[in-house]
Amino acid sequence: MRLRLTPRNTSFFDLLADSARHLVGAADVLGQLLGAERAERKVLAGQLRDAEHAADESTHEIMRRLNQTFVTPFDRHDIYGLASALDDCMDFMEEAGDLIVLYKLGTLPPRVNDQVDVLRRCAELTAEAMPRLRSMKDLAEYWVEINRLENEADRTYRKLLAEMFNNGTDAIELMKLKEVVDALEAAADAFETVANMVETIALKES
């Protein structure tokens, strides 16, 4: 670990942990939304938007602190990138939930639930990992497991697309559903981006 002679503002650790905790709640609401009736989906989509707004507040506070802080706990460019990547995870999950409601989709294919199950696990692991940035210890298992989950998400996504296009008959409904599964796949990619950034930061700080 590099020797630091200047006090560091450690509030960034708390703010990053807050951002990650919002992801856990959002992934859980998204899972509930999949199996809900249409009327209930609107309520749950509203909860997703609330989670997204709360996460935005955490992100904006990180950006404000970056502009006000001379010495940061690690490279300020990495803090900015990590905060933005966490925000992307939330945005894609909120987008998927919003599209399900806006497009008035009915029962979704079972593999969509598989996609969201992966996102739930990614969110839980990310929330567990963020506080460990303080010590930069015990993080390797996190990024390895996120990488494995993202590969699982890729396989699910490809199988889901194949099933949709092999079995679907309504082109408009296929287009609507594809936008949803694309957003969920993008969320899985975003979680991997977060894990990759954490790995880079840990290696820099070791």
Q: Rounded mean pLDDT of 3-25?
A: 74
CB contact burial 46-61 (16+ within 10 A = b; e otherwise): ebbeebbebbeebbeb
Question: 110 is in which domain, residue-wise?
Answer: 11-205
Percent of the chain predicted with pLDDT > 70: 95
2 within domain boundaries? no
- In contact, 107 and 198? CB cutoff 8 Å: no
92 within domain boundaries? yes
3 within domain boundaries? no
Q: Which residue has the higher pLDDT, 66 or 139?
A: 139
The per-residue pLDDT for range 98-112, each reduced to its tens digit, is 999 999 999 999 999
| Average pLDDT of the chain to the nearest whole number | 91
The per-residue pLDDT for range 17-74, each reduced to its tens digit, is 999 999 999 999 999 999 999 889 999 999 999 999 999 999 999 889 888 877 777 7
pLDDT band at 8 (very low <50, low <70, confident <90, very high): very low
Q: Among all chains, which residue has been given the structure tokens 């933005």?
A: 84
Q: Rounded mean pLDDT of 144-165?
A: 97
187 within domain boundaries? yes
145 within domain boundaries? yes
Give the CATH number, domain containing residue 192: 1.20.58.220
Helix locations, the chain, DSSP H? 11-34, 38-68, 76-102, 110-129, 140-167, 171-205
pLDDT (0 to 100) of residue 4: 41
82 within domain boundaries? yes
Compute the distance between CA of residue 145 and CA of residue 142 in angstroms, rounded to an integer. Answer: 5
pLDDT beyond 80 at 166: yes
87 within domain boundaries? yes
74 within domain boundaries? yes
Q: Among all chains, which residue has been given the structure tokens 């396989």?
A: 155
Count how many domains the chain has: 1
